[in-house]
A and B are shown apart, each in its own frame.
Chain A
């Protein structure tokens, strides 16, 4: 079975500090994207960042960056200069069948002032 593992059910970070959320995945796809989604209490899944697996360069979107290690099937998310608005559930997702996604169980991020 293709799976996504997020080993940190909860994480806490102080405002302006940096936090890293971990994710490992398993896929049989050869060319694929990996995703981090944010889910606030409104429930809408919001795309934070995506990584193309064939690119060696790690993706960056403003304060968000990834550490992608293809051989290890590891895909962690780093949030720099954390803000109160970053508090949410974060889900890592990997491909399943070329169109569907497998999601991890999520990491709840708490940001403290």
Chain B
């Protein structure tokens, strides 16, 4: 596609509910990143994929967070048993190769109530 597409754009979840956030990167982009942006803050790194391999998940805040990219294209970020502190914008970015400039999507705003 022409850009990085994320869905849904908004998600409201009740505390304890599981959510899945989708990222469709630019076609052919090898690298894919997830960032979490809390209100009033800059984005913080969550995890990095090179094709289908998750090479770095050091930024995932807890074992309730899980990301996958099974075929090296679309990625899903799953959050289990959501808590209020998970409320944030989740940004996905992709690049053609590691080290290239990213293209970001418009993010998913998750609100946990």
Which A residues lie at the B interface, using CB under 8 A?
Answer: 4, 33, 35, 37, 42-47, 50, 91, 93, 96-106
Query: Would B42 and A43 count as touching, CB distance under 8 A?
Result: no
Report chain A residues within 8 Å CB of B109. Answer: 43
Report chain B residues within 8 Å CB of A106. Answer: 40-42
Query: Would A4 and B104 count as touching, CB distance under 8 A?
Result: no
Query: Would A100 and B42 count as touching, CB distance under 8 A?
Result: no
Query: Would B101 and A47 count as touching, CB distance under 8 A?
Result: yes
A-contact bits for B78-108, CB 8 A (1 contact / 0 none)? 0000000000010101000011011011110
Query: Would B106 and A43 count as touching, CB distance under 8 A?
Result: yes
On whether A103 and B43 interact (CB within 8 A), knowing A44-B106, A45-B91, the answer reads: yes
Report chain B residues within 8 Å CB of A97. Answer: 56
Q: Which residue of B lies closest to A47 (CB)?
A: B101
Query: Would A100 and B45 count as touching, CB distance under 8 A?
Result: yes
A-contact bits for B22-34, CB 8 A (1 contact / 0 none)? 0000000001010
Report chain A residues within 8 Å CB of B91. Answer: 43, 45
Which B residues lie at the A interface, using CB under 8 A?
Answer: 31, 33, 40-45, 48, 56, 59, 89, 91, 93, 98-99, 101-102, 104-107, 109
10 A-B residue pairs with Cβ-Cβ distance under 8 Å, sorted by A, are A37-B104, A43-B89, A44-B106, A96-B45, A99-B48, A100-B45, A100-B48, A100-B56, A105-B40, A106-B41
Report chain B residues within 8 Å CB of A100. Answer: 33, 45, 48, 56, 59
B109 CB to closest chain A CB (Å) equals 7
Tell which of A44, A91, A96, A102 has the most Cβ of chain B within 10 Å: A44
Report chain B residues within 8 Å CB of A50. Answer: 101
Report chain A residues within 8 Å CB of B42. Answer: 4, 91, 93, 103-106
Query: Would A99 and B98 count as touching, CB distance under 8 A?
Result: yes
